[in-house]
Structure 1
Amino acid sequence: MSAPITWLESLTNTTSSGQLLTAAKSGDCASSSCGSSSRPTDMDSATWEKVKDHPCFSEEAHHYFARMHVAVAPACNIQCNYCNRKYDCANESRPGVVSEKLTPDQALRKVIAVANEVPQLSVLGIAGPGDACYDWKKTRATFERVASEIPDIKLCISTNGLALPEHVDELAEMNISHVTITINMVDPAVGEKIYPWIFYGHRRYTGIAAAKILHEQQMLGLEMLSERGILTKINSVMIPGVNDQHLIEVNKWVKERGAFLHNVMPLISEPAHGTWFGLAGQRGPNALELKAFQDRLEGGAKLMRHCRQCRADAVGLLGADRGQEFTLDQIPLELDYDGGKRHAYREVVARIRDDHSAAKKEAIATVASVNIPGSLQVAVATKGGGRINEHFGHAKEFQVYEASQTGIKFVGHRKVEPYCHGGWGEDATLGDIIAALEGIDFVLCARIGDCPKKQLLEAGIQATDAFGYDYIEAAISALYATKHGSDRSQLTA
């Protein structure tokens, strides 16, 4: 097992590009060849090159790389019953939410600022706050400006798909390699319960007619993208009693039309957000319901389970939004791009990913060799890098893994409010965390105090910091191997 080093923190906190470059050059491998062993065995090399540093299209990549959304496309051509773009809280993570809208020139300034300070940045996306394809002139202008300054950054858009077909050729010409389409139905009868209206061909449509047009455009756009080799991710919002069972059919349709990933997300429907569903009392699925449904879809289109339902101005690693650090009032008017940190970071990460991949393979082999029925559900406090490197009291989310004889797989995440505030733990917050960890057997973290550990144990959840800074899979395999062993108590001591 690798030495427990906090490499991610040391890289992101480095202020000197020279120091990062020195670290990168100290190894004996180049970024073009390193990291190859981390490619999944079921993925060809060409596809791996497209997704290996895209945190939304690769679960493995999301441990290392960051994305950035710029809010340049406010206009939208459909209304969704789960959407209200007017509500904004800096602490929430919800699609369509932004603190400030940008012009293409402002977006370029912000991207340069982030690229200079966040070495993990690999992807620029436009996800609204309206629709990137409908507000196309601003989307295109932004991408053109950024591509001219930072040519190695991946470009992607998120769209509802209604205006997508008319821009597919332009997307291909501009080398936009990844597209996310939100598809919540393939039956217009279901769609009319989700979409009150659409605006298409200079007309407003409602009811079945609106849902039928939207469905046809979405399928056409997906097929056109697949024909051109552009990777597609399909987002679907799981709405209990409306489209939850229907998403099984959606999964089949998008797989047949070449979708790379299918991401089933829970409906966010707090009444405070002012959405139609929220005000009508429509509930979203809980974590266990979402996981159970995702499990039913295994064998269909490949599933994405690490989505954080990001804001339209999100910045940073998934689950660690830094957008509020880069508002326009904090960014100088004149900036030059310096790619030193980003390039050095990629060199270092390439070597680390090889090390992580080897540890992961060893862990999976260990789990497969243990003849234990059932599975183990493990929640991990992590800052990234594939390591257990977050204090229990500081965690804003826990990443959830499932270990069984079939392997170790990431199955989701549970958002929480941090337990510690100013060095003190909040009992009410701990109660909420315990509720959020329903169904979890173990919690792994870098540090945890005796009090929260005891209360978790009383709730049937064992917590330990014995594996602090180890690779996640290595720690989980050790837990799994001793699940019924006599030394299990030593792991939680």
Structure 2
Amino acid sequence: SEEFTLDKIEQMEVSYDLDRRRAYQEKVEIERQAQHDAKQAALAEAAAIEVAEDLKVLVAVATKGGGRVNEHFGHVTEFQIFEVGYLEPQGAARQPPEGAAGLLGSGPAPARVLSALFVGHRRVDLYCQGGFGDDEQLPSVVRAINDCHAVLVAKIGACPKDELASAGIEPVDQYANEFIEKAALAWFNGYRARIASGEIVHRDRGDAAIRQGAFTAAAEAA
């Protein structure tokens, strides 16, 4: 249109806030470095614990985003699930099947490294409605993460904490607002240390009741 001719576009002044962009980039870099340092600290702690390196578990995380453990258990409608343990590096070539020696990519399996790897989401019904816990919803939430050894949360009430513990799922709230990877690795270090000391015995978890579409009373009313 006549309102946006090439001549007029060329005459427009472009407002570019370089200082704001630079400040944002610096903030992102500081956050990235903090996350890296937190992970390295957790890995250093792991080196002192002697437990079989084939141990790996699933951990549920209550998060609002930002890569942190920052959501109340009762406000979660979707957990993030992480596999924690000594895992093959992502993208690493796998050992070829027997008899396939000499094929491209063959060779020794890559060394496993202690990692917290995101493996998916797990939808659940909202436990807290109007500031109060719905006891009828709680069992379905617990069943949805029944294959997890722990759930990392920013906060959790006494009732769901007891229900989770009774089901064999450890409720963990001491890593509120920490980076997820650091929190998961730190909890796993403690879990391994308790196994090494004989305080607990590692047991495999059962299957979870994974649902495709959980709903909330508020969403249904809307």
Taking structure 2 as the reference length, the TM-score comes to 0.60
Contact 1:367 1:404 in 2 (8 A): no
Aligned partner (choices 186, 206, 210) of residue 478 of structure 1: 186
Contact 1:446 1:468 in 2 (8 A): yes
Is 1:349 aligned with 2:57?
no
Is 1:362 aligned with 2:69?
no
For 1:416 and 1:363, the matched residues in 2 are separated by 30
Q: Write the letter of the residue equivalent to 2:127.
A: Y
Taking CA–CA contacts closer than 8 Å with sequence separation of 6 or more, which of the two structures ends up with the larger relative contact order?
Answer: 2
For 2:173 and 2:65, the matched residues in 1 are separated by 16
- Give the superposition deviation at 1:430: 1.5
Is 1:439 aligned with 2:147?
yes
Q: Write the letter of the residue equivalent to 2:63.
A: T
Contact 1:364 1:473 in 2 (8 A): no
- Give the superposition deviation at 1:401: 1.6
Output aligned runs, 1:87-486, within 5 Å: 343=21, 344-373=23-52, 374-405=55-86, 406-408=113-115, 409-483=117-191, 484-485=193-194
Contact 1:378 1:476 in 2 (8 A): yes
Q: Which runs of 5+ in 2 are unaligned?
A: 1-8, 10-14, 87-112, 201-222
- Give the superposition deviation at 1:434: 1.0
* Count of residue correspondences: 155
Q: 1:488 to 1:390 in 2, by over 3 A?
A: farther
For 1:388 and 1:487, the matched residues in 2 are separated by 29
Q: 1:463 to 1:368 in 2, by over 3 A?
A: same
For 1:391 and 1:339, the matched residues in 2 are separated by 37
Q: 1:380 to 1:436 in 2, by over 3 A?
A: same
Contact 2:124 2:144 in 1 (8 A): yes
- Give the superposition deviation at 1:368: 4.9
* 3-state SS, counterpart of residue 402 of structure 1: strand
- Give the superposition deviation at 1:475: 2.2
For 1:380 and 1:403, the matched residues in 2 are separated by 12
- Give the match for residue 89 of structure 2: none
Q: 1:443 to 1:363 in 2, by over 3 A?
A: same
Q: 1:346 to 1:357 in 2, by over 3 A?
A: same
Contact 2:35 2:182 in 1 (8 A): no
For 2:139 and 2:129, the matched residues in 1 are separated by 15
Q: 1:430 to 1:396 in 2, by over 3 A?
A: same
Q: 1:435 to 1:471 in 2, by over 3 A?
A: same
For 2:157 and 2:16, the matched residues in 1 are separated by 42
Contact 1:377 1:442 in 2 (8 A): yes
- Give the superposition deviation at 1:339: 7.3
Contact 1:379 1:440 in 2 (8 A): yes
Q: Write the letter of the residue equivalent to 1:392.
A: F
Q: 1:425 to 1:378 in 2, by over 3 A?
A: same
For 2:47 and 2:66, the matched residues in 1 are separated by 24
Q: 1:488 to 1:447 in 2, by over 3 A?
A: farther
- Give the superposition deviation at 1:432: 1.7
The CA RMSD over aligned residues, in Å, is: 3.0
Q: Write the letter of the residue equivalent to 1:456.
A: L
Q: Write the letter of the residue equivalent to 2:49.
A: V
- Give the superposition deviation at 1:338: 8.9
- Give the match for residue 213 of structure 2: none
For 1:385 and 1:487, the matched residues in 2 are separated by 36
Taking structure 1 as the reference length, the TM-score comes to 0.29
- Give the match for residue 62 of structure 1: none
Superposed CA deviations along residues 37-80 of structure 1, whole A, max 9, x for unmatched, are xxxxxxxxxxxxxxxxxxxxxxxxxxxxxxxxxxxxxxxxxxxx
For 2:16 and 2:162, the matched residues in 1 are separated by 49
- Give the superposition deviation at 1:449: 0.4
Q: Write the letter of the residue equivalent to 1:445.
A: V
Q: Write the letter of the residue equivalent to 1:407.
A: L
For 2:198 and 2:25, the matched residues in 1 are separated by 40
* 3-state SS, counterpart of residue 137 of structure 2: helix
Superposed CA deviations along residues 318-339 of structure 1, whole A, max 9, x for unmatched, are xxxxxxxxxxxxxxxxxxx997
